[in-house]
Amino acid sequence: MAKRFPQNNNETFNSLSPTAAGDAPKPRLLDQVRNCIRRRHYSIRTEQTYVDWIKRYIYFHKKQHPEDMDENHITDFLNYLAVDRKVASSTQNQALCALVFLYRHVLKKDLPQFENLIHAKRPSKLPVVFTREEVRDILLQLEGVTWIMGQLLYGAGLRVMECVRLRIKDIDFGYRQITVRDGKGHKDRITMLPVIIVEPLKRHLEKTKKAHELDLEAGFGKVFLPYALERKYPHANKSWDWQYVFPASRRSIDPRSGAEQRHHLSEAVLQRAIKKAIKTNNISKPGSCHSMRHSFATHLLESGYDIRTVQELLGHKDVSTTMIYTHVLNKGGKGVQSPSDTLFQDA
């Protein structure tokens, strides 16, 4: 068994794409995987993750072709991840999803035992929630673009990727609202635009527009468009409405199209800023950007807003997901008063 997976391997996997004599050569296995993923409009991150797990699976079994392997090989690989590598349950399930996708959608091989493959059970964890004072202290440590983005995480309940992927057309200053497009579960939703960031955001967009105009003068100015919109609206990728609210400081090469264009700001910029702010304020909670979203939901419930309203703002499919935030309203111990606090009351 392989004990170590190569991190950067440029093998072409030609041997993993057998063709019959006289037939046109098939695309390489991993290219078939990529094509299948793109037909389903999965994100590029999902594509990269699935391809990586399939590579690891093949290397683990000494480069056997997946066609020649079955559910027992998948089980061996998953057991190796759990027992030897001690990966988290979410990581193990991610690997399983990648392999099920490979066999079902690429190799068209619905293994009979797929239904019996067990997803690792994720431990039930309560969300990390900051107090209002902790949120204030964190936001005071941010400045410029990261301050605006931090306010959107806490003030609008955005996920970090929803924040960095915002487009100009998604901001409605008139109605003070934000439209989150293609969020988790490929769903759209509307949330509020915090009044506190309206003027700073307008000033930021003025600078962003000037940078976009300079890109256009230099012969660039394009931005990534989802699905087939670039073919349907040939000039939309250069229009101001489709530009990112938080663009990257430099242009880059799109990994799929090969075009030089300006992508959105890396989420790592905001993640590092939030982590630094937490550390600077000596907050002992293991918080992150997502903790700002947890705090948004919890503080709304504390203020008396209906849980269904909070569910819609968060974009949760089921209200039971939103219910997890109600644990904080019980003030610890499910609202039960400690016997230590009543021991001497009647003395």
Q: Which of 34, 293, 294, 299 is catalytic?
A: 293
Q: Cα 165 to the chain's mean position, in Å?
A: 11
Rounded to whole angstroms, how far apart are CA atoms 334 and 331? 7
* Torsion sign (Cα): 18, 24, 26, 31: positive
Q: In this structure, what token pair is assigned to residue 196? A: 């506190």
Which residue is catalytic, options 105, 169, 189, 290?
Answer: 290
Q: Is residue 184 annotated as part of the catalytic site, yes or no?
A: yes
Active-site residue, 290 included: yes
- Reported in sequence order, the residue ranges of 55-188 that DSSP labels E, i.e. its strands, are 171-172, 177-180
Q: CA 287 to CA 308: how far, in whole Å?
A: 25
**Other beta carbons less than 10 A from residue 130's beta carbon:** 23
Measured distance CA(299)–CA(314) in Å, rounded? 13
Residue 107 CB burial class (10 angstroms; 0-12, 13-18, ≥19): middle
Torsion of CA 85, 88, 89, 91, to 10 degrees: -80
Could you say which of 159, 212, 222, 299 is catalytic? 159
Catalytic-labelled residue, pool 103, 154, 244, 325: 325
Is there a catalytic annotation at residue 293? yes
Q: Known catalytic residue: 279? A: no
* Beta-ladder partners of 247: 264
Among 28, 184, 238, 276, the one annotated catalytic: 184
Task: Give whole-number Cα distances, 187 to 172, 180, 232, 337, in Å.
Answer: 19, 8, 22, 41
Q: What is the 3-state secondary structure (H, E, C) of 37-68?
A: HHHCCCCHHHHHHHHHHHHHHHHHCCCCCHHH
The answer to whether the Cα torsion of 304, 311, 332, 141 is positive or negative is: negative
Torsion, Cα of 25, 31, 32, 36 (10° steps): -150
Q: Which residues are catalytic?
A: 159, 184, 290, 293, 316, 325
